Amino acid sequence: MVAQSPDRDGSALLVVDVQPDFLPGGRLAVPGGNQILDGVRHLMLSDAFQVVVATQDWHPPGHASFASSHPGKEPFDTIPLHGHEQVLWPEHCIQGTPGALLAPELPWDRAHLILRKGMDPRVDSYSGFRNNWGPDGTRPDTGLAGYLEGRGIRRVTICGLARDVCVRWTAEDAVDAGFDTTLVWDLSRSVDPSADDDLRSALSHHGVHLVPLDELED
């Protein structure tokens, strides 16, 4: 069982953006997002991980990624932003609003670190490790890799929302930062589930291990 894992030392659980705005009824609800809550809670309460980290989308009003910040644009339109394609989202996870809080169903007292992202009004931030591209053409570090390395973490296990956006970027950046990276596939959900087969292939090609929860427990 997960709770008896012999590999606890050197392992971290990353819980990505499990917030009301991404759950049913939220401003940017991910289909089936609530279905991951029991499994995520199970992992957070287990003794399988040396470190538990949560990321939290935390946007200021008028953020550049919001369709409402671009006259004539609609949610899910795309625009060029700082030299790269930017999806325009419905307003979501606005600082201090109920939808931006961490989902109350989960035991956040188990988290060693809560990392807020997307706070720069000019720049989106999908990944827990690096912001999206900014005006200078770079993707600045969030400091998460250094935090984990400083605690001797070599392996990260990722779950959360949304599988095809913030979870994907976090997982790929974790690999790029040198971590042995596992995504618990059934403890994530996609904004666009129809593209999950292509996403699975892309993540595997990038070096992310994709496992179901029951395999993680073996």
- Domains of the chain (ranges; CATH) run 2-216 (3.40.50.850)
| pLDDT per residue rounded down to tens, the chain (218 residues) | 444 454 678 999 999 999 999 999 999 999 999 999 999 999 999 999 999 999 999 999 999 999 999 999 999 999 999 999 999 999 999 999 999 999 999 999 999 999 999 999 999 999 999 999 999 999 999 999 999 999 999 999 999 999 999 999 999 999 999 999 999 999 999 999 999 999 999 999 999 999 999 988 65
Q: Which of 77, 30, 57 is nearest to 190 (CA)?
A: 30
Residue 81's CB is within 10 A of a number of other CB atoms, namely: 20
Q: Where are the alpha helices (DSSP H) in 46-84?
A: none
Q: Active-site residue numbers?
A: 17, 117, 166
Q: Contact at 8 Å (CB) between 44 and 106?
A: yes
Phi-psi region of 32 (alpha: psi -120 to 50; beta: other; left: phi over 0): left
